[in-house]
Structure 1
Amino acid sequence: MRTYESGAALASEIAKRGGLFIREFAEVPDEGWDQLVDGVDRTPRQMIAYQLGWMELLLGWEREEQAGATVVTPAPGFKWNQLSGLYESFYQTWETNAVDDLINRFEVLLDEVVQLVNGLTEAELFESGQRAWASSTPSAWPVWKWIHINTVAPFTTFRTKIRKWKKLSGCC
């Protein structure tokens, strides 16, 4: 897994990778948003919904802990071995939204995640045990790893998927 020398470096990478990811969707035609193609496991809408779901969870975990609530990870009603059901809930949440709404929401959440990173101290980001939600699994990762695996890593992976989708669909 990639590492970061500072919170600023992580924030910069989130903004960069998120921007590269979301720009890939500009060429997707209206009729293609819900189209599965052989060789790609998600539709374009599902790819964005997945990102929206994880960013909302990540921001929610932090917001709830800061409000003094007990955070349930990954989400109420889901366990870590039930992620496929969680993904389905992301898809259902966004299945009827206009494309512009998906993209706008992504940009808002991306900015909020960058602000979150910029608002945390280096200790809060890089030292284990700084947040209960980040210590909720046996891995007890520091916050930066949770942020990385829910932003930079999937932005990069899903950028490859949407590019493959565009090629295989013949749209772009």
Structure 2
Amino acid sequence: MVIGDVVGQVLSREELATELDSAYSKLEALLDRAAEADLFDEVAVDAWTVHDVVAVRVWWAEAVAEWIAAGLRDENPQTPEPGFNWTQTPALNQSVVDASADVPILVLRDRLGVAVALLRKYIETLDDDQLLAVGDFSWSRTWPVSRWIAVNTITQFASLSKMIRRLLKSANQL
């Protein structure tokens, strides 16, 4: 499957699990290589370092996991975050970068692993309506939960992987 396809379609439970596992595994391997090449402080995109981009990816994976948990508690969380609306995601992402500046990369990687494991559990345990249908959770609006998971993990992990590969190549490490 082409990663761009993830954004526009609803994946089955099996496809979602397979694509998440694959994207996360590839990202983890590249993060290991980035650590070996000491690239976490290198600029990956715009003014953000690899560390910064990892922090943002962690935040979104954790956010989706929390939104699902809230939905399971019959709550309707404010998305994307209290104090931010969807047109303010660049400001939200920058606030994540700012708040994560002193968080060690190993802590971020651990948090990402926990978030992915939790999302993987949701993929396995949510019923078909909760995972694949629109409207089971009010916070998910016009997208099924599976698409929220895919866009905030698979797609984002692929873009970060691409950034890291570019940096590794420019450092003659790839």
The TM tier, using the shorter chain, reads 0.7 to 0.9
Q: 1:80 pairs with 83, 86, 111, which one? A: 86
What residue ranges of structure 1 are gaps of 5+ in the alignment?
A: none
1:14 correspondence with 2:14: no
> How many angstroms does 1:104 deviate by?
1.5
Give the counterpart of 2:168 among 142, 166, 169: 166
Partner of 1:63, secondary structure, is helix
TM-score w.r.t. length of structure 1: 0.86
User: What pairs with 1:26-105 in structure 2 (closer than 5 Å)?
Assistant: 26-29=32-35, 32-36=39-43, 40-41=45-46, 42-105=48-111
For 1:69, give the aligned amino acid: E
Residue in 1 that maps onto 2:138: 132
Greater CA deviation, 44-53 or 28-37? Answer: 28-37
Instruction: Please state whether the residue corresponding to 2:97 is helix, strand or coil.
Output: helix
Q: Please, which runs of 5 or more residues in structure 2 have no aligned partner? A: none
Deviation at 1:5, TM superposition (A): 5.6
TM-score normalised by the chain length of structure 2: 0.85
Correspondence 1:121 to 2:123: no
Q: Name the % identity.
A: 24
CA distance in 2, matches of 1:35, 1:157: 16
Contact between 2:10 and 2:147, CA under 8 Å: does it hold in 1? Answer: no
